[in-house]
Amino acid sequence: MSKSRSKFLCLDCRIDTGKICEHYFINTDTWISVAGSKTGMLCISCLENRLKRKLVASDFPDVTINNPKYAKMSLRLLNRIKSNYVDNSVGYETH
Ligand SMILES: [Zn+2]
């Protein structure tokens, strides 16, 4: 394992969050409450384990890295984030 990748590894399961396209920001307060510091990465499932709830769109600040238009995302990350974009259109699918 090269040192340059280690900062992308999930703190809990050690999966490479860059490789599985789970590179994202959540609100700092929420992050600190589960991770204890600003550094480190967690994959979606480990983060939700620590939070003991599912992530929702409001957990994600409006930054480029959280915009599905610009960032490649895993399906489960996309599912959490995209409710930002489909809030008022139940049953409507975007592609
Ligand atoms: Zn993990």
Q: What is the pLDDT of residue 4?
A: 75
pTM of the model: 0.81
How far is the centre of ligand 1, averaged over its atoms, from the C-alpha of 61 (Å)? Answer: 21
- 88 lies in a domain? no
Consecutive 10-residue averages of pLDDT for the chain (95 residues): 79 96 95 93 97 95 92 94 60 48
> Could you tell me if residue 1 is inside a domain?
no
Supply the pLDDT for residue 83. Answer: 66
In whole angstroms, give the CA distance from residue 63 to residue 58. Answer: 12
- Ligand 1 centroid to Cα of residue 54, in Å, is 14
Domain that holds residue 59: 9-83
Number of domains in the chain: 1
Compute CA distances 52 → 44, 48, 55, 67, whole Å.
12, 6, 9, 24
d(CA 13, ligand 1 centre) in Å = 4
Indicate whether 91 belongs to any domain: no
